[in-house]
Amino acid sequence: MKIYDFPKGPYPTRVRIALAEKNLLSHVEFVMVDLYKGEHKRPEFIAAKNYSGTLPVLELDDGTCIGECTAITEYLDALDGAPKLTGTTPREKGVIHMMNKRAEIELLDAVSVYFHHGTPGLGPDVEVYQNPEWGFRQRDKAVRGMHYFDSVLRRQPYVAGESFSMADIAVIGGLLFASLVELPVPRECEALRGWYAEMLQRESVRDQPAFSRSVHVQH
Ligand code: GTS
Domain of 49, CATH number, reads 3.40.30.10
Q: Compute, in angstroms, the gap from residue 55 CA to the centroid of ligand 1.
A: 5
Ligand 1 atom closest to the Cα of residue 56 is 5
Nearest CA to ligand 1 atom 22: 54
59 plus 130 within the same structural domain:
no
Nearest CA to ligand 1 atom 16: 9
Any domain includes 84: no
Q: Compute, in angstroms, the gap from residue 33 CA to the centroid of ligand 1.
A: 12
Angle of helix 132-155 relative to helix 109-118, nearest 10 degrees?
Answer: 150
Ligand 1 atom closest to the Cα of residue 53 is 13
Question: Which sign does the torsion angle of CA 14, 138, 120, 50 carry?
Answer: positive
Q: Compute, in angstroms, the gap from residue 148 CA to the centroid of ligand 1.
A: 23
Nearest CA to ligand 1 atom 5: 68
Number of domains in the chain: 2
125 plus 41 within the same structural domain:
no
Any domain includes 212: no
Any domain includes 195: yes
Whole-number pLDDT of residue 80:
84
Any domain includes 83: no
Ligand 1 atom closest to the Cα of residue 72 is 5
Any domain includes 85: no
Whole-number pLDDT of residue 212:
84
72 plus 96 within the same structural domain:
no
72 plus 108 within the same structural domain:
no
Nearest CA to ligand 1 atom 9: 54
180 plus 107 within the same structural domain:
yes
Any domain includes 149: yes
Q: Is 115 in the pocket of ligand 1 (CB under 6 A)?
A: no
106 plus 21 within the same structural domain:
no
Output the pTM of the full model.
0.96
Domain of 99, CATH number, reads 1.20.1050.10
Angle of helix 109-118 relative to helix 10-21, nearest 10 degrees?
Answer: 150
Nearest CA to ligand 1 atom 3: 68
Ligand 1 atom closest to the Cα of residue 115 is 16
Task: Quote the CA–CA distance of 139 and 44 in Å, as a whole number.
Answer: 32
Annotate the chain with three-state secondary structure.
CEEEECCCCHHHHHHHHHHHHCCCHHHCEEEECCHHHCHHHCHHHHHHCCCCCCCCEEECCCCCEEECHHHHHHHHHHCCCCCCCCCCCHHHHHHHHHHHHHHHHHHHHHHHHHHHHHCCCCCCCCCCCCCHHHHHHHHHHHHHHHHHHHHHHHHCCECCECCCCHHHHHHHHHHHHHHHCCCCCCCCCHHHHHHHHHHCCCHHHHCCHHHCHHHHCCC
Any domain includes 151: yes
Any domain includes 114: yes
Starting from the edge strand earliest in sequence, which strands make up the sheet with 65-67, in order?
29-32, 2-5, 57-59, 65-67
Taking only the tens of pLDDT, the chain with its 219 residues reads 999 999 999 999 999 999 999 999 999 999 999 999 999 999 999 999 999 999 999 999 999 999 999 999 999 999 988 999 999 999 999 999 999 999 999 999 999 999 999 999 999 999 999 999 999 999 999 999 999 999 999 999 999 999 999 999 999 999 999 999 999 999 999 999 999 999 999 999 999 999 986 544 455
Q: For residue 20, give its domain range.
A: 2-78
Whole-number pLDDT of residue 214:
53
Q: Is 127 in the pocket of ligand 1 (CB under 6 A)?
A: no
64 plus 161 within the same structural domain:
no
73 plus 120 within the same structural domain:
no
